[in-house]
Structure 1
């Protein structure tokens, strides 16, 4: 797992379930790894988790995101251009989701796509971006639903150290289908990147921003192919 500062992985032991892989030992309300590396922490919370609610968001719903993809309050978010927030979240997704167990990678990307969608307007220059990202989420959701491993626990990502905001819970893919499912998800993201690049050619004011967003989407397909 790659080194990520101020990032913790929280294990939500749904129904007492736990990772069966030797790399991710059974949960028991204890720290599995530390020393500055991502931390996997067992939780006995009956699948409810400690922070956050629903899917695809952060506990306490931030006002937006900064250029690094980290949550910020409404006042700060108001000063950050929409495309900067979108690319920040999607670039962070490519980094963070490469650190989670591979079977959780697709839902990790979904969570970050939903965060990007949450700051993308329904109308105006970036309406097409919102449409493409929403369609992408719907297609990825189907892949997860078709291949979900109900024997694995849900996990969350927490940023900013102890007490920081946590993402929505993430679902695992079955071991026997994870390679195919991740490959299918990578193709979906590649197609989204292509659509955004084509849309960029029709833009007059936001062409460069569309290209940057497309590149950020594309960076996520690489982690699913690895």
Structure 2
């Protein structure tokens, strides 16, 4: 579980300078983290919440894509690479898409916090994941 929180915290390193690609960058990073989390026994609900958030962000990026921008793979200074080419959001739709992306992350945070009632240890872990996920909303407000 600590690796999931760490990886969520590290999303900013790849997505911070991604500009028009930020929505799909967040989707791709959450997809990668969710794929790793899917192997963790007893965390099905977290897996489903992350999977849904990633899917919604990816659809949001695609529905608002900029046809003038190529799909692009990103890399960060700390060695992270996007696992797939990312879609840019059109400038005229960027603010609305980023506002919607914040709502998607907030909804995932809320779901994680509500799902954390199973045990004290699991509740703390879900809260950490929710907090780490929520910390990435700053990327959408810049």
Compute the TM-score of the two structures, normalised by the length of structure 2: 0.88
What runs of 5+ residues in structure 2 fail to find an aligned partner? none
Number of the residue aligned with 2:15:
97
Higher relative contact order at CA 8 Å, sep ≥6: structure 1 or structure 2?
A: 2
1:95 Cα deviation from its structure 2 partner: 3.7
Instruction: Please give the residue correspondences for 1:1-226 in structure 2 after superposition, counting only pairs within 5 Å.
Output: 83-101=1-19, 103-121=20-38, 124-159=41-76, 166-167=81-82, 168-226=84-142
2:74 is paired with a residue whose SS is: strand
What runs of 5+ residues in structure 1 fail to find an aligned partner? 1-82
Query: Greater helix percent: which structure?
Result: 2
1:154 Cα deviation from its structure 2 partner: 2.1
Equivalent pair of 1:94/1:223 in contact (CA under 8 Å): yes
* Cα deviation 1:130-156 (Å, max 9, x = unaligned): 000011112112211210112102222
Q: How many angstroms apart in 2 are the aligned matches of 1:121 and 1:151?
A: 35
Equivalent pair of 2:13/2:77 in contact (CA under 8 Å): no
Equivalent pair of 2:98/2:141 in contact (CA under 8 Å): yes
Equivalent pair of 2:65/2:88 in contact (CA under 8 Å): yes
1:165 Cα deviation from its structure 2 partner: 6.2
Q: How many angstroms apart in 1 are the aligned matches of 2:41 and 2:50?
A: 15
Query: Greater strand percent: which structure?
Result: 1
Count of aligned pairs between the two proteins = 141
1:109 Cα deviation from its structure 2 partner: 0.3
Equivalent pair of 1:89/1:115 in contact (CA under 8 Å): no
Q: How many angstroms apart in 1 are the aligned matches of 2:3 and 2:36?
A: 7
Q: How many angstroms apart in 2 are the aligned matches of 1:188 and 1:165?
A: 24
* CA RMSD in angstroms, aligned pairs only: 1.9
Compute the TM-score of the two structures, normalised by the length of structure 1: 0.57
Q: How many angstroms apart in 1 are the aligned matches of 2:29 and 2:48?
A: 15
